[in-house]
Amino acid sequence: MNRFPPKLLLVIVLGIETVVSGWAIVGQLRRPAPPHPPVASLVDAETSRHFRELWPAADTSGQNEDWLALGQAFAVYGFFPEAERCLGQARQLAPQSVDTLFWSGLVMNRLGQTTRSTKHLSEAARRDATRRDECHYISARNHLRGDATADTQKAEAELRRVSSNHLAGQYLLAYLLVHSDRPGEAMPILDRLIAGHGDIHRLYQLRARAAEQLGEFDKARDDREWAERVPETIPTDAVADRLGDRGHQFGLDNRILRAGQLASQKNLDAVVKELNTILKIAYRPRVARLLASIELRRGRSASAVKLLETLIRRDGSTADTLIELGLARQSAMADSGKILGTFQLALRHKLDPETCRLMIRLVKEMALRRNSNVSRHSTNTPKACKPSGKTGSRKPSRFSDWPPPSLTGSKPTRSIFSVSASDTSANAGRPSTPTAAAWNCAPNTAGQPMRSIVSGKGDQRRLRLSTCSVTGPSLTRSTSMCC
C-alpha cells in the first residue's frame, strides 16, 4: 500500500487551511459593518451605552435578529439612513421575515421613498394578517404624498381593504370621498364612526362639510357646534406612533420602563433612587412628574412641590402641570391664596370648566374656614374682652385665622377635590405609552398621595381616576399615573 510522502501530506493540509481561512476572511470582508453615527453627541449616555452593545452583536453574530434590532434602534432615534442600511442587511439574511419587511416599509416612508415603502408593506400585509390594516393605511398615505404626484385612486383602493374598525383608515376614506364630491358615500361611514367615537371633533367637522354638500345646512350647523365642544382628534401618523411605541425597548426609555415595572409599596425608596439617577443622566419632564407622584404617595408633599416647581422652571408651564402643582401644594397644606393663584395660572393656559369649578369650591372652602375661625375666636374670647352693646361691634381681629383647624382638632371641611368613583370611572383613560402602562400597575394603597391629571371632554370633564388615591388634610382624590 502506497503512502503519501510526509511533505506532500503537509502541503495538502496547509492548502486546505489556507482555503478555509481565505474563505472566512472574504466572507468577513463582504459582510458590511454596522454604521457608527456619532450617537454619543446626539443622545443621552444610557442610550449611547445601549448602541455600543448593539453594534458588536450585529457585527459578530451576523443574525437577522441582531441587524433588525439595531435598525429599529436607529429608526426610533431618527437615524433613518443608518436604519435602512441595517434593515437591508437583515432582509438579505432573512428575506421572508415579516418584521424586517414591515420595519423596512416604515423607514422607507420616513425617507420619502414611498414606492419602495409600499412594496415592503404590501408584502408584509400578505404574510401577516394582524398587520394588514396598518400596512394598507400607511400605503394609502404613501400614495397621497405630494400634491403633484398624489394618486387618490390607488389610495382609495388601499383604504377599501382596511377593516371597518380601523378608525384612522375609515376617516381617511371618508375624507377622500367628501373631497371627491361623493358625500353620499361618506355620510354612512361618518355616522358609524361618530356613533362609536363621539368625542372626536374631526369627525363632526368632516360630516358638517358632507352635509353642506348635500344641502343639509341645519345638520351641518349642528355638527360644527359639536365640533367646538369635543376636544379629541385622530392620530393619523401611524409611522410616528409605531416608532414611539417601540422607543421603550431602547436606551433611557427602557430603563424608565424597567423602573416602573419594579415599583411596589415595599421598594419605593429604590424606585425613587433610580428615577433620580435617570434625571441626572437626562432630564425628562415625564420622569420628574412620575417622581413627584411617588413622593406624594410617600407623604412627602413638600418634595413633590419642589419637583413640580423645578419642572415648570426648566420645561415651562402647562395647564396640567399647574393643576398638579396646585394639588400638591394643597396636600402640603400650603397657603390657600397660593393654591388659588396656581389654578388661576392654569386657567390662563386653558379655560377649563372643571378647573373653574374647583376654584369656586376652593373660595367657598376658604370662606367657610374663615367664618368658622371667626366664630370660634368670638366664642373663646374672655368676658372682659367681649364688646358691649354700648361700644358697638368690634372688627374681626387680623389673627382670626389662628389657630388653624389642624391645631384645634376641628374637622376640616370636605375637600374641593373630593370626587366620587361614579364621576370618573367612565373617563379613566388608557396610558399613552408602554411606560405609562407599567406605572399604572403600581398597587393601590389607600391614603397615599398621588399625582393627578384633569381629563375629560368638554363641559363634562372629570378628574381621572386610576389605581392610586390622594388624601391629605384637605385632599381626597383618586389620580392617574400616566406620563
- The amino acid that residue 280 corresponds to is K
The values of phi and psi at residue 468, to 5°, are -120, 155
Tell me if 352 sits within 8 A of 459, measured CB to CB. Answer: no
Strand-pair partners of 138: none
Range 278-282 contact pairs with CB under 8 angstroms and sequence separation of 24 or more: 278/46, 278/252, 281/44, 281/45, 281/46, 281/252, 282/44, 282/45, 282/46, 282/252
Residue-wise pLDDT for 307-333, tens only, equals: 999 999 988 888 888 888 888 888 888
The values of phi and psi at residue 263, to 5°, are -70, 130
Non-local CB neighbours of 451 within 8 Å, separated by 6+ positions? 289, 290, 292, 293, 296, 304, 324, 327, 328, 479, 480, 481
If asked whether residues 162 and 224 sit together in one domain, one would say yes
**Residue listed under C-alpha cell 382670626:** 400
If asked whether residues 137 and 189 sit together in one domain, one would say yes
At residue 440, the pLDDT reads: 43
Tell me if 278 sits within 8 A of 284, measured CB to CB. Answer: yes
Q: What are the cell numbers at 70? A: 439595531
At residue 192, the pLDDT reads: 97
Q: Is 168 exposed, middle or buried (0-12, 13-18, 19+ CB in 10 A)?
A: buried
Q: What is the DSSP string of 141-164?
A: HHHTSSTTT--HHHHHHHHHTS-T
If asked whether residues 46 and 134 sit together in one domain, one would say yes
Position 242 in a domain: no
Coil, strand, or helix at residue 83? Answer: helix
Q: With a cut of 70, list the residues of the chain below it in pLDDT.
A: 1-4, 8, 19-31, 147-149, 265, 373-483
- Domain with 149, as residue range(s), is 42-229
- What is the distance, to the nearest Å, from the Cα of residue 112 to the centroid of all Cα atoms in its chain? 26
If asked whether residues 256 and 225 sit together in one domain, one would say no
If asked whether residues 280 and 416 sit together in one domain, one would say yes
Report the C-alpha gap between 78 and 81 in whole angstroms.
9
- The single-letter DSSP state of residue 423 is H
Degrees to nearest 5, angle at CA 161 with 156 and 164: 100
- The amino acid that residue 281 corresponds to is I
If asked whether residues 199 and 342 sit together in one domain, one would say no
Tell me if 227 sits within 8 A of 200, measured CB to CB. Answer: no
Strand-pair partners of 470: 477
At residue 147, the pLDDT reads: 61
- The total number of structural domains in the chain stands at 2
If asked whether residues 258 and 140 sit together in one domain, one would say no
CATH number of the domain enclosing 472? 1.25.40.10
**Can the peptide bond before residue 403 be classed as cis, meaning omega within 30 degrees of 0?**
yes
If asked whether residues 220 and 264 sit together in one domain, one would say no
At residue 109, the pLDDT reads: 96
At residue 154, the pLDDT reads: 94
If asked whether residues 156 and 290 sit together in one domain, one would say no
Tell me if 294 sits within 8 A of 272, measured CB to CB. Answer: yes
If asked whether residues 260 and 172 sit together in one domain, one would say no
If asked whether residues 218 and 298 sit together in one domain, one would say no
Coil, strand, or helix at residue 200? Answer: strand
At residue 356, the pLDDT reads: 82
Degrees to nearest 5, angle at CA 317 with 443 and 77: 70
For the chain, what is the largest distance between any 2 Cα atoms, rounded to a whole number of angstroms?
Answer: 144
Strand-pair partners of 478: 469
Q: Is 457 exposed, middle or buried (0-12, 13-18, 19+ CB in 10 A)?
A: middle
At residue 398, the pLDDT reads: 33
If asked whether residues 224 and 258 sit together in one domain, one would say no
